[in-house]
Structure 1
């Protein structure tokens, strides 16, 4: 594994170099996994860690279905596109992640210091936009949690979102955001790392 472009980075971070490698520098999106199962207890431990991810107003719209049974796997694979079908069929565990578009109903207990916080999201369009954005934040932390557990993740958005939403949630209030394959990476799990933009291309100081 090649060294990071900024070799001075460890001097400016409090995260141990080993953790930097596990979570970022050596972590990759996995395309293939071993047959070793991923127990429920391990995913629960991941959630108990990443549930503290920051979201707007502590809204926590992420909802997840863990696909374990062969029947459910077949239902999901049907709606995946291209090579994602094979990847999803062979992964030890697959998580279907959705945004709860009615997350605002939970806000009174999530932000108890506010009076009727749910009223802020009374209009459907801004509520759905907020649900989708904050679910994406939570997914990012979920992937880091998977890596922290010594597992690899293969997040994908190549699928029929409307069909998967209906197949695995079906109530009209959940919108599928991504599918995440989870497991121990196989020896051939990785492709070459693609380039990243340099700091100077991304950051502007004003």
Structure 2
């Protein structure tokens, strides 16, 4: 294969990595989460928007608030995961952008003036960052259990009442526990994905 990444790293990040459905009770530390962020913050987004915002659910009270909005099949694993992260798009990400872009000097004032334009851009770019985040969790030697089975409106009202954020995914994080993996589902082959024009 024509990959620079060695086979051990390929297995850790992609080939052997799976969505975890059960975890040990070993804690996930703030240092581990900071290391994940320090790696994945370099993933590209359009005009370096970086709209992903993460709420770490650590307290029992916050966990209970979240569980009420999770789909029934996701509640038990979310209740028992050492750490749960709510990944959201910040619709007001433009506030964090520099006032002037060397290549896009009008971006802040023109491109992102309309809320609908910001929301669409935030969703796309934060979704890219969700993927980086999952790979970062794996790079830290942890397992990720990303989920979209939840009441998004309920989570947004519960955790983002300012309506400036929208939840994209909820990710359980930790060391994989007993029977953590479901059978791997098939992947599309190259010819099913790629065309050349």
Equivalent residue pairs, number: 196
The answer for the alignment partner of 2:148 in structure 1 is 157
Instruction: Give the secondary structure class of the aligned counterpart of 1:179.
Output: strand
Instruction: Give the alignment's TM-score, normalised by structure 2.
Output: 0.96
Alpha-carbon distance between aligned partners in 1 of 2:46 and 2:158, rounded to the nearest angstrom: 28
Alpha-carbon distance between aligned partners in 1 of 2:116 and 2:38, rounded to the nearest angstrom: 30
CA contact (8 A) 2:99 2:108 kept: no
The answer for the alignment partner of 1:139 in structure 2 is 130
Unaligned runs of 5+ in 1: 1-10
Q: Describe the shift of the 1:71–1:118 C-alpha distance in structure 2 as closer, same or farther (beyond 3 A).
A: same
Alpha-carbon distance between aligned partners in 2 of 1:92 and 1:169, rounded to the nearest angstrom: 22
Are 2:119 and 1:122 aligned? no
Alpha-carbon distance between aligned partners in 2 of 1:142 and 1:152, rounded to the nearest angstrom: 11
Unaligned runs of 5+ in 2: none
Deviations 1:50-76 (A, max 9, x none): 000110010000001000010100000
Instruction: Give the alignment's TM-score, normalised by structure 1.
Output: 0.92
CA contact (8 A) 1:60 1:103 kept: yes
Instruction: Give the secondary structure class of the aligned counterpart of 1:190.
Output: coil
CA contact (8 A) 1:151 1:185 kept: yes
CA contact (8 A) 1:29 1:154 kept: yes
Are 2:94 and 1:104 aligned? yes
Q: Describe the shift of the 1:22–1:109 C-alpha distance in structure 2 as closer, same or farther (beyond 3 A).
A: farther
Higher relative contact order (CA 8 A, sep 6+): 2
The answer for the alignment partner of 1:20 in structure 2 is 10
Superposed structure 1 runs of 4+ greater than 4 Å apart = none
Instruction: Give the secondary structure class of the aligned counterpart of 2:98.
Output: helix
The answer for the alignment partner of 1:171 in structure 2 is 162
Instruction: Give the secondary structure class of the aligned counterpart of 1:12.
Output: coil
CA contact (8 A) 1:59 1:110 kept: no
How far residue 169 of structure 1 moved from its aligned partner, in angstroms, is 2.0
